[in-house]
Amino acid sequence: MSSISNYSKNIFSKESALNFAGTVGTGLLSARFLPISIKEAGVVSAAAGTLSTMGQALLGKDASTFKKGLVTIGAFALTYFGTAALAPTLATRFALTLTPQFIGKILAFNALGQVVSFGLAKILFVTSWNMSDAQIKTLHETYTKDTELFTKLPAVEQQLIIQRFKKQELDVAALTCEKPSAEDIAALTESEVRTLHQHEVALEDDALLLRYFELNLKPFEAIEKRIPRLDLKQPETVEEVEALSEEKLAWYKLYFADNDDARKKLPHDVQWALYAKDKVVSTYSFNADSLKTAPDAQIHDLENPMKCLSWWVDTYPSTQKALVERAKALGIEIPHPVHPTKPEEVSSLDPKVVEAYNKKFPSGLDKEVVKAFNQRFYELKLPLPNGQTIAQLYKNKDATWPQITLELPKTPDEVAKLDVNQIPWMYAFIRENGGFNSLSFEMQSALNDPFSTHLSRRFWFNFDKLTFENVSSASERTISILHDQLHIKSDKWKGLSPAVIGALDARFAKQFPADKLSEEQARKYHMLFASKPECWGALPKARQQALRQQFNKYPELKELRVNWR
């Protein structure tokens, strides 16, 4: 129904009327210069005018001048041969003498009429859609003097005119534009959309951009950054990619440049086709299955990456296997070993290869092979794989902690010899396998020092192993950890002997002066000494006074008498 409606609208338009009148009018004029009657000239001209006008109306206003010209030539050819064929009948019934020679000359006049009517249409039917730059300047003066006149224009025309004013650097401050609706944009003819594109009109609504895309109109700078967020129809097959115009490719290049997630959702063969098509996408995905049927050109494109060790070790095992098979068939040599499948194969790998695995460790390897790699990483004093840190492992609840078998150090000297990259491995091993509580206090302290320094982590000390002597000689970092531990686990205070409490408080007094205690710490100290008056009494006078001063800040805390040894 819509096509019939459009045809009816076109056939009865001013342009069609002018086209018909121009064709017939100049045809009738031929009777003054040729030995023919007006009646004879009229028959040929009416036929030519009718056929050409109907044909152009069928094409629609959006058709190019070239297409309209072809239709006119076809209409004139049909008129020529049709009239010539009917000439005997016309001569017998209507006494019309129409020879092919005269028909051709009449049609020449008709062609002149077509050209004249085309020119007149450009002059008589001037609108904001086809104005020259000079006419736009005149229009600017009109609308700035009468802004209400501008507001009466359709919303899309307002946007077009404003854009043309801006391009000529004309002041538009006094003019207010109405925002076109989706219906306004949908109602635009192809010719109008092309005109908006010609003048680089970029509305806020993405619907106009999609119209540009559908009509194969090249993207312009003002809309380039908006293209990645558009809902563009993407090619689904290699054949569709091959059929894409240069304009469509330009759209997709901008779309995928900042929309890699959309690129990843495309079939692998389509990704490659887009990449091969002037790198519309900057990269492409593949897997073992897609490589089996991939074009030879794609395997050759992967030749350099395959020779890069860091790229090669990061490739999934099944994909690596498929690459080896395709490369071998094409005579491409890969200078690196495939992924190990047994732990003993890991042991024989060159250290440089192991270092590459450490930086980009692949997924999909056998668990025992992974464990063997971890062992090599530790031995070669390499960090956790893929740049992992202990902090990141704690943040990710679903993280898989490195699996490794290590022997715990036996002396503080052995701990001191650990490389900075070996410390996270040792921490991970203890966290996963335990054993910290069974160590002596000295060894716990020796391990917690580097754990705290380099990882900002620690394991809680075993309070049963605290003595006056080892607390008195412990490092400041160990004392700091004990201080935190005793305030988090305040119930543990009660199980300590007065000698150990005294040693701890003496160390705490130096590192954590009473006047620096938080409210929570002060309350916990009070709870300890209120429950253990003998420990309170064992404190030096100065320490009692300093702590009491802090306790007095909180009236609800029971007063502890100041007494000293």
Same domain, 107 and 152: no
Instruction: Examine residue 439 and state whether it is found in any structural domain, yes or no.
Output: no
Same domain, 8 and 103: yes
Q: Which tens digits make up the pLDDT trace of 68-78?
A: 888 888 888 88
Instruction: Examine residue 316 and state whether it is found in any structural domain, yes or no.
Output: no
**Domains identified in the chain, total number:** 3
Q: Which tens digits make up the pLDDT trace of 53-103?
A: 788 778 766 577 788 888 888 888 888 888 888 888 887 787 787 888 888
Q: Which tens digits make up the pLDDT trace of 410-445?
A: 999 999 999 999 999 999 999 999 999 999 999 999
SS3 state at 562 = coil
Same domain, 176 and 234: yes
Same domain, 109 and 140: no
Same domain, 71 and 155: no
> How far is it, in rounded angstroms, from Cα 265 to Cα 310?
26
Amino acid type, 245: S
Could you give the residue ranges of the DSSP H alpha helices within 295-411?
A: 296-301, 303-307, 309-313, 317-329, 343-347, 351-359, 367-379, 390-395
Query: Which pLDDT score, from 0 to 100, does residue 35 have?
Result: 84
Same domain, 253 and 140: yes
Instruction: Examine residue 421 and state whether it is found in any structural domain, yes or no.
Output: no
The pLDDT of 516-529, averaged and rounded, is: 82
pLDDT bin (cut points 50, 70, 90) of residue 34 is confident
pLDDT bin (cut points 50, 70, 90) of residue 122 is low
Question: Residue 366: pLDDT above 80?
Answer: yes
pLDDT bin (cut points 50, 70, 90) of residue 393 is very high
> How far is it, in rounded angstroms, from Cα 411 to Cα 415?
7
> How far is it, in rounded angstroms, from Cα 320 to Cα 328?
12
Could you give the residue ranges of the DSSP H alpha helices within 95-146?
A: 100-124, 133-145
Same domain, 50 and 138: no
Domain boundary among 283, 301, 336: 283
The pLDDT of 455-471, averaged and rounded, is: 94
Mean pLDDT across the chain, nearest whole number? 88
Range of the domain at 46: 1-124
Q: Which tens digits make up the pLDDT trace of 221-255?
A: 999 999 999 999 999 999 999 999 999 999 999 99
Closest Cα partner for 416 from 441, 446, 382?
446
Instruction: Examine residue 203 and state whether it is found in any structural domain, yes or no.
Output: yes
Contacts of 365 (CB under 8 A, 6+ apart): 317, 339, 340, 373
- Global confidence as pTM: 0.64
Scanning the structure block, which residue is given the tokens 């569709």?
Answer: 240
Same domain, 278 and 205: yes
Domain boundary among 246, 266, 283: 283
The pLDDT of 285-302, averaged and rounded, is: 97
Which of 100-104, 147-151, 469-473 comes out lowest in average pLDDT? 100-104
Same domain, 275 and 142: yes
Q: Which tens digits make up the pLDDT trace of 187-222?
A: 998 989 999 999 999 988 899 999 999 999 999 999
Same domain, 169 and 249: yes
> How far is it, in rounded angstroms, from Cα 310 to Cα 131?
61
Instruction: Examine residue 209 and state whether it is found in any structural domain, yes or no.
Output: yes
Instruction: Examine residue 279 and state whether it is found in any structural domain, yes or no.
Output: yes
Same domain, 16 and 94: yes
Instruction: Examine residue 114 and state whether it is found in any structural domain, yes or no.
Output: yes
Instruction: Examine residue 433 and state whether it is found in any structural domain, yes or no.
Output: no
Domain boundary among 124, 154, 169: 124
Same domain, 156 and 214: yes
